Structure 1
Amino acid sequence: MAAKKLYESFSKSLMEEVHRWGCMKQTGVSLRYMMEFGSKPTEKNLLISAQFLHKELPIRIARRAIELESLPYALSEKPAVLKVRDWYLDSFRDMRSFPEIKDSSDEREFTQMIKAIKVRHNNVVPMMALGVQQLKKVMDPKIVYEDLDEIHQFLDRFYMSRIGIRMLIGQHVELHNPNPPPHCVGYINTKMSPMKVARNASEDARFICLREYVPSHLHLMVFELVKNSLRAVQERHMDSDKVAPPVRIIVADGLEDVTIKISFPSPSSFWHFPLNFDVLKRGGIARSGLPKIFTYLYSTAKNPLDENLDIDSTDAVTMAGYGYGLPISRLYARYFGGDLQIISMEGYGTDAYLHLSRLGDSQEPLP
């Protein structure tokens, strides 16, 4: 009944239009193209950008709205997922209701509209996580979550698409900034120091643990990796008098990639400490446990999502605790032509390798 009631809030003609636009072809862009095009944010270029987004965004949003209608294991019927679907349908309606963009005045109004859409979708990740949690509560406890390929593949597509949508909107909006930071073209910092971002992310992760490319995206990825590492070390040494081993970060500057390695050397101890809190007695992650760390239905940390959470709330929810840090970090890396690899030696330790493409000319991996 809940699904039917929410569905009826949208007209039949709107739903038909969603399905029509969802069948259209997406157009990917590269980071290099975004940088070169945005290096001269003239009124003409901003108008061209807005006209492109006016056509492209409804296609991407429609595809996600359609997919949210028919998810396996009745995931589509969970209240939190229905809420996310409503956000996508509302955004599609807003996009399609906006008239043709003909001049700079239209472009400025359009920019404010897509800026509001981006804010509307701020909590999509925790809301989808809540929907998955609602599903897990009614599933057979004997089910092995990493075997639910359909759900994992959907979430990979869904979050990869979300990254692209937010990147396109954020880049266009930021080009309107009258006082951009030095060396920045919209979201993109042309002189970014991976070492500096890694150091800042490490300090932020350290602060969180003590409390219980695009710089913001790189920060997110390194933050998640270091946070997981520090949390594992902290939990392992909580009742010990021994000094916890350090988490070490190496940044390698290659011709094609910048690679950030996060590892756990410990001169006073034989074992290292794994990511995603899979702490074993002698360190490292068992080979059988590695598939779990990139799934969306698994985490050994305390789940921060209250089953009675107000799904209309706009309060931000941390990613820690519902197992999304590593899989989403890997999607960010892949979106920009890189990758994230986890290599573990059971009984010894675990290393994370974050590869970042220097070239920036790979097309978006459109789902």
Structure 2
Amino acid sequence: MTWSHLARRWRVLRQTCAPKLRFYSGQQTHSPPPWRPVSALDEWVERDIRPISLRQLTFFGRTLTESRLISSANYVRTELPTRIAHRLRDIQRLPYVVVANPHLSLVYELYYKAFERFRTIPEIKTLDDNDKFCDILRRTLQEHLVVIPKLATGVLECRELVPPDVLDDFMNTLLRARISRRVIAEQHLALTETFNSPWHFPGSQDRTDLNADFVGEVFLKCNAKEVAERCGKLTQDMMRQSSGSDKIPEISVQGHLEATFPYMLSHLEYIIGELLRNSIQAVSERYKGTSERPPPIEVLICEAPQHVILRVSDQGGGIPREVLPYLWSFNKGPHSKSHLQNLGQVPAMAATMQELSVSTKRKDADKETFRESSLDSLTSRPPNLRLGIGLPMSRVYAEYWAGSLELHSLEGYGVDAFLQISKLGNKNEQVTTRASIDAV
């Protein structure tokens, strides 16, 4: 079936279905998304996505010149509309009643406007062109901070209309793609900032060790011990503040404490922060009202030739049996209704750990590895507000750079979480789902 036939069917469905649609978000009616011409989209969907690795990002940014910066800008300029076009096509393939959901419809509109914006940007030839392009990037990144809560809310509201595995695959694909777009956009913004800094130019003595540790957004010396301790302290402070109790379990870090690797620091912080927060909540709740001191949460670091593995172990009683089958699902589970209500309190979300904490605390926690991001201070949410997407999001982050995240629950005792990270930085970003990769 051609896209012209689909366009006609879309228009017919709009006329017949739109007056009957009622949504679950408290709104009585909502205008469905307008039909868009597909000819421009078809051209970009036929283009292949060009994945990158951490090593490529590092190599490119290490010897930064004006021509390389402009080359980076043109890569982002053409890659963003290509990646957005593929996701727009994914949304168009959903049943009409799902796309017409007000939250998913908003995401569709945001994506299409961004697609139109980026595909019409002319070739970048000068540094002035690049500065204007960076302004567009920053504005788009900020506009799209609503995407995660809107996606999650829309998927939860449509959970009875589409099989759950279809919605989970859709959500995983869109979140991977979102991470990929933010990675290349944030990296280019950081490279531009580096290029414009006084210490970038030869002969300058102002370049510090802090800046030498970063190439754009890639932190070359991610130390697993330091990240675990820093995330642990911040998580303990957040949980102490939200619970009003000092009965917070200690965090013990053991193993290969010198293990380092190149990584996106915000990705790693988010994963470890979510794992530690879940463990602290479980242990605190289990020992609440008792005179016993809660047992510590153990973080074991294991360094292999190609990987670094972190095991986070707690004695919080394990994952409830009714929750376990839906651990990695965005749309199913016994608490989906409460998650839907909580998402209504989160208008924007960057999916970084720093949005849960005060920036000054994070800076003070470890001044040597703090790096300001364009996402800092743009969003905030209470750390005890459970949304049901922390673990699935953490797995998406882990698998994005060809790693993995697994949980093993020992009922009545606790949970062991295993995070595996590629140590060499030579794995391409995984912009499709694991199922799609396995099917190749």
Instruction: List per-residue Cα deviations over 1:304-355 (Å, max 9, x = no partner).
Output: 7457669699854468522111111111111112111112222332100111
Range with greater deviation from structure 2 (205-214 or 287-296): 287-296
Tell me how many residue pairs correspond in the alignment. Answer: 341
Unaligned runs of 5+ in 2: 1-17, 22-28, 200-209, 243-262, 350-377, 433-440
Correspondence for 1:203: 233
Report the CA distance between 1:208 and its aligned residue: 2.2
Give the conservation status (yes or no) of the 8 Å contact 2:156–2:330: no
Give the conservation status (yes or no) of the 8 Å contact 2:83–2:177: yes
Report the CA distance between 1:366 and its aligned residue: 2.1
Correspondence for 2:297: 247
Identity of paired residues, percent?
28
Task: Tell me the distance in 1 between the aligned counterparts of 2:91 and 2:49.
Answer: 18
267, 272, 275: which one pairs with 1:222?
Answer: 272
Instruction: List per-residue Cα deviations over 1:145-174 (Å, max 9, x = no partner).
Output: 9x7110111111111111111101111100
Report the CA distance between 1:299 and its aligned residue: 6.8
Report the CA distance between 1:242 and its aligned residue: 2.3
Amino acid at match of 1:183: D
347, 350, 354: which one pairs with 2:415?
Answer: 350
Report the CA distance between 1:289 and its aligned residue: 5.0
Instruction: List per-residue Cα deviations over 1:249-268 (Å, max 9, x = no partner).
Output: 1222222111111002xxxx
Report the CA distance between 1:93 and its aligned residue: 1.3
Correspondence for 1:50: 73
Query: Given the two structures, how large is their TM-score scaled by the length of structure 1?
Result: 0.84
Unaligned runs of 5+ in 1: 265-271, 274-282
Distance change in 2, residues 1:130/1:304 (3 Å):
closer
Amino acid at match of 1:258: V
Task: Tell me the distance in 2 between the aligned counterparts of 1:195 and 1:5.
Answer: 51
Correspondence for 2:11: none
Amino acid at match of 1:343: H
Structure number with larger C-alpha Rg = 2
Correspondence for 1:40: 63
SS of 2:339 mapped into structure 1:
coil
Task: Tell me the distance in 1 between the aligned counterparts of 2:312 and 2:71.
Answer: 41
Give the conservation status (yes or no) of the 8 Å contact 2:104–2:151: yes
Task: Tell me the distance in 2 between the aligned counterparts of 1:99 and 1:50.
Answer: 11
SS of 2:429 mapped into structure 1:
coil
| 1:258 equivalent in alignment to 2:308 | yes
Correspondence for 1:61: 84
Task: Tell me the distance in 2 between the aligned counterparts of 1:341 and 1:65.
Answer: 30
SS of 1:189 mapped into structure 2:
strand
Amino acid at match of 1:228: N
334, 339, 342: which one pairs with 1:303?
Answer: 339
SS of 2:68 mapped into structure 1:
helix
Give the conservation status (yes or no) of the 8 Å contact 1:340–1:353: yes
Report the CA distance between 1:97 and its aligned residue: 2.3
Give the conservation status (yes or no) of the 8 Å contact 2:73–2:124: yes
Give the conservation status (yes or no) of the 8 Å contact 2:318–2:415: yes
Distance change in 2, residues 1:58/1:120 (3 Å):
same
Distance change in 2, residues 1:311/1:338 (3 Å):
closer
| 1:366 equivalent in alignment to 2:431 | yes
Distance change in 2, residues 1:289/1:312 (3 Å):
closer
Amino acid at match of 1:59: T
Give the conservation status (yes or no) of the 8 Å contact 1:343–1:351: yes
Query: Given the two structures, how large is their TM-score scaled by the length of structure 2?
Result: 0.71
Give the conservation status (yes or no) of the 8 Å contact 1:296–1:322: no
Task: Tell me the distance in 2 between the aligned counterparts of 1:74 and 1:317.
Answer: 30
Instruction: List per-residue Cα deviations over 1:120-155 (Å, max 9, x = no partner).
Output: 11221112112123335xx39xxxx9x711011111
Amino acid at match of 2:218: I
Distance change in 2, residues 1:91/1:286 (3 Å):
same
Task: Tell me the distance in 1 between the aligned counterparts of 2:347 and 2:275.
Answer: 28
Amino acid at match of 1:149: D
Give the conservation status (yes or no) of the 8 Å contact 2:104–2:154: yes
Range with greater deviation from structure 2 (19-28 or 159-168): 19-28
Within-5 A mapping of 1:1-367: 1=18, 5=31, 7-8=33-34, 12-13=36-37, 15-71=38-94, 74-136=97-159, 139=160, 148-177=164-193, 178=197, 181-212=211-242, 213-264=263-314, 272-273=315-316, 283-285=317-319, 290-297=324-331, 298=333, 300=335, 303=339, 305=341, 316-317=380-381, 320-367=385-432
Task: Tell me the distance in 1 between the aligned counterparts of 2:380 and 2:290.
Answer: 34
Task: Tell me the distance in 2 between the aligned counterparts of 1:114 and 1:38.
Answer: 18
Instruction: List per-residue Cα deviations over 1:16-43 (Å, max 9, x = no partner).
Output: 3123312321111111101101112211
Task: Tell me the distance in 2 between the aligned counterparts of 1:310 and 1:262.
Answer: 28
Amino acid at match of 1:51: N
Correspondence for 2:260: none
Amino acid at match of 1:31: L
Task: Tell me the distance in 2 between the aligned counterparts of 1:287 and 1:308.
Answer: 27
Task: Tell me the distance in 2 between the aligned counterparts of 1:335 and 1:308.
Answer: 27
Aligned-pair RMSD on alpha carbons?
Answer: 2.8
Give the conservation status (yes or no) of the 8 Å contact 2:32–2:102: no
Give the conservation status (yes or no) of the 8 Å contact 1:299–1:323: no
Report the CA distance between 1:205 and its aligned residue: 1.5
Task: Tell me the distance in 1 between the aligned counterparts of 2:304 and 2:428.
Answer: 21
